[in-house]
Amino acid sequence: MVDLTGGISEFIDLRDKRKIPSNLFQLLETSYKMKTLMGAAISPPERASSNEVQLLNGLVGGHAYSITGFKEIQLRPARVELVRLRNPWGHGEWKGAWSDHSPEMKQLSRDVRESLMFQDKDDGEFWMSFEDFKRNFDKLQLCHLQPDAVIQELEDNTDKQMWYMSIYRDSWRPGLTAGGCGRAPSPHLMWRNPQFFVTFDPPNPEHRSTMIVSLMTKQLDLKSSLAIGLRLFKLKQNGRLPTDRSAQQKVLKKYLQPLEGSPTFSYDREVTKRFSFKPGTYVIMPCTYNPDEEGEFILRVFTEAEADSGTMDKILFSFDETDAAVRDGGESLKDLFNKHTSGDQTMTARNLKEFLNTAAANKLQETVKFPLEFCKSLVAMGANETPSSLTFDDAKRIWKELKLIVEVYKEFDKDNSDAVDAFNLVAMFSKLGLPESGVSLNWSVLACVVQRYGGEDNSISLVDFIMATWKLKFVFKTFQEESTKKGEIGGNVYWSRNEMLKMSMLL
């Protein structure tokens, strides 16, 4: 049904009768009102000679039935819960209580039977009590439809309601957002997984809202190589979770209350979980069982009531243009500048490359080979007076910022291997600026950084880190300048095609 309709599939195991939820009838009745398609099946008897076996009560073992209705009727001294099913063969019906020819059905008034749309004929459709349904059926499948599902039978039923749906496409990227399930020896990596929030705010604070979450992976040949699952947390305090993921593990007890996730991680294409919540903000974390497993996924969230939802995708990222912690001896830096400049006391891209390589060796004891193309970009982005060359003030400013970037990188390159795990990028970027500046970088952009500058093992070299950081800095600065100049608000700036092309050529 999922492939046919594009809906969310949910399975309920009825074999262990002691574990059947006490509110199952209400759950199914509500889902039916929300355009959910349902089916139920009976397992074939053990050592049966065929896949489908006719049972004495009229049902067929090893066979599936569609569920077409629910009804509660008042019979003294209690109410009776009924469920209507249909045999896809178009004949063969239940012979027990509330069947077509049963005493229970015959005792009903004509009006009640009409409300049940009762027809006394062997057409494969029949009623039975919900208690008999639970005793006889072993499996229950629900397919919750998207709001835009086109099914004529449901469109014609104006009594049906609709689910509110949010859909997110994301991925687990080794070295970046593939954090695993949080098991030892690396439980802290779990916080690198993509995270999504859902906020319920109904008028009645005691009202519980239903949420159904589906996690589906992209597969080849309908085979899954990933064990996937869902983790869920409730935000204890009002407001949003701090967006600095590097600090989330430290504030877990303060901000988050772990809730039930998927009982086990499975290799199924789709994992679905149903939740019922009071008002509040909840965090959904799709994850694989093992860290550093690559895959793409679709997360769909169906809610009974309208809810606010989105991605927890912002990390703090900023730069201080007047960083006082980076200091150089003006005399020696000036000497280096003079040594690598042209006769007019300006520096070209080729001069800048030699200047930076020498400065890194002399002042940082680092062998850094800056690519000429990157130096051309530095000249184009960093020149204040002439677009093709740098003055001493330009070069000094560039050096100070590059020096800070190198120093931050070396903090994480503890073995001097010139390879830092991309998992550290969040903390590295945070060290390059002040959180209160409020400049944000979302995880989809960070994934592009790893895709463009990361190695095959998702590590970042010093030169690649410098180039990525500098480009991000330039784009952020340009965005802020344009936003101020054009008076744009809300985090959006309109750029013409030529303006966009001009900035792209400078990178």
- What pLDDT does residue 61 have? 93
State yes or no: pLDDT of 6 exceeds 70: yes
Q: Are 436 and 309 in contact (CB under 8 A)?
A: no
The pLDDT-based confidence of 95 (bands split at 50, 70, 90) is very high
The pLDDT-based confidence of 331 (bands split at 50, 70, 90) is very low
State yes or no: pLDDT of 319 exceeds 50: no
Q: pLDDT tens for residues 344-401?
A: 788 888 888 888 888 888 877 778 888 888 888 888 876 655 556 788 888 888 888 8
- Coil, strand or helix at 383: coil
Pick from 503, 500, 484, 483: nearest CA to 492:
483
Higher pLDDT: 397 or 126? It is 126
What is the arithmetic mean of pLDDT over 13-37?
A: 89
The phi and psi torsions of 99 (rounded to 5 degrees) equal: -75, 180
Q: How many beta carbons lie within 10 A of that of residue 318, not counting itself?
A: 18
Higher pLDDT: 243 or 52? It is 52
- What pLDDT does residue 220 have? 61
Domain ranges of the chain: 1-144, 164-311, 333-506
What is the arithmetic mean of pLDDT over 155-174?
A: 73
Pick from 62, 12, 63: nearest CA to 36:
12
The phi and psi torsions of 327 (rounded to 5 degrees) equal: -130, 140
What six digits make up the tokens of 302?
Answer: 């169906």
The pLDDT-based confidence of 87 (bands split at 50, 70, 90) is very high
What is the arithmetic mean of pLDDT over 261-282?
A: 81
State yes or no: pLDDT of 405 exceeds 90: no
One-letter identity of residue 404 = L
Q: pLDDT tens for residues 187-206?
A: 878 888 888 888 887 666 67
The pLDDT-based confidence of 156 (bands split at 50, 70, 90) is very low
First to last CA, the chain: 49
- The three-state DSSP-derived secondary structure of 244-307 is CHHHCCCCHHHHEEEECCCCCCECCCEEEEEEEECCEEEEEEEEECCCCCCEEEEEEEEECCCC
State yes or no: pLDDT of 343 exceeds 90: no
Q: pLDDT tens for residues 411-469?
A: 888 888 888 888 788 778 877 763 334 455 667 777 888 888 888 777 889 888 888 88
What six digits make up the tokens of 12?
Answer: 């309920």
What six digits make up the tokens of 112?
Answer: 């009640």
Separation CA 191–CA 287 (nearest Å): 10
Higher pLDDT: 197 or 315? It is 197
Look at the domain 164-311 and name its fold. Answer: Jelly Rolls (2.60.120)
What is the arithmetic mean of pLDDT over 246-256?
A: 58
Give catalytic residue positions. Answer: 63, 87
Percentage, residues of the chain above pLDDT 90: 22
Higher pLDDT: 64 or 470? It is 64
Write the CATH number of the domain with boundaries 1-144: 3.90.70.10
How is domain 333-506 classified at the architecture level of CATH?
A: Orthogonal Bundle (1.10)
> Mean of the per-residue pLDDT values for the chain?
80
Domains 1-144 and 164-311 share a fold: no
Q: How many beta carbons lie within 10 A of that of residue 289, not counting itself?
A: 17
Pick from 73, 71, 74, 86: nearest CA to 28:
71
